[in-house]
């Protein structure tokens, strides 16, 4: 009888350790944003005259927070997944407006370092 009570106690403690846990992270991105814009006038198909071609650079600083929820997990497993780290990033967005007589394109390139600071709540 003692064995069943002890086994039930161990199982209930093990079951109680598995619960929903939350990892709170703050993400900081620093680097540069490079914007290139080009406009050209199409005189004949295949022949274009450049009207403007410009590039400028601005510093990039972005901050956000978010939460990740782990369902029915132990504290040890949640700590293993809730880590702080840094990594480089490169994002490129191209927007263009082609037409028969006018072409416009804007390219935005964001690059730098993303730092994730995470902790278990």
9 in any annotated domain: no
Task: Give tens-digit pLDDT for 5-49.
Answer: 665 656 556 555 788 999 999 999 999 999 999 998 888 777 778
User: Averaged over 67-96, what is the pLDDT?
Assistant: 93
**What is the pLDDT, as a whole number, of residue 51?**
85
Residue 49 in any domain: the answer is yes
Residue 7 lies in a domain: no
Contact call for residues 36 and 107 (beta carbons, < 8 A): yes
Residue 114, token pair as written in the block: 């993303």
21-25, 55-59, 70-74, 96-100: segment of lowest average pLDDT: 96-100
Number of domains in the chain: 1
Q: Tell me, yes or no, whether 28 lies in a domain.
A: yes
Compare 59 and 100 and report the one with higher pLDDT.
Answer: 59
Among 49-53, 66-70, 73-77, 87-91, name the one with the lowest average pLDDT: 49-53
- In the chain, the percentage of residues whose pLDDT exceeds 90 is 60
Containing domain of residue 108, as a range?
A: 20-120
């Amino acid at each position: 009888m003692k064995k069943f009570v002890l086994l039930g106690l161990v199982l209930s403690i093990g079951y109680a350790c598995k619960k929903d846990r939350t990892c709170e992270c703050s993400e900081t991105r620093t680097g540069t944003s490079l914007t290139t814009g080009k406009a050209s006038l199409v005189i004949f198909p295949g022949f274009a005259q450049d009207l403007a071609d410009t590039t400028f650079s601005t510093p990039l600083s972005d901050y956000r927070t978010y939460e990740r929820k782990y369902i029915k997990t132990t504290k040890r497993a949640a700590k293993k997944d809730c880590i702080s780290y840094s990594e480089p990033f490169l994002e490129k967005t191209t927007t263009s407006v082609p037409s028969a007589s006018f072409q416009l394109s804007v390219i935005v390139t964001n690059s730098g370092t993303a730092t994730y600071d995470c902790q278990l709540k």
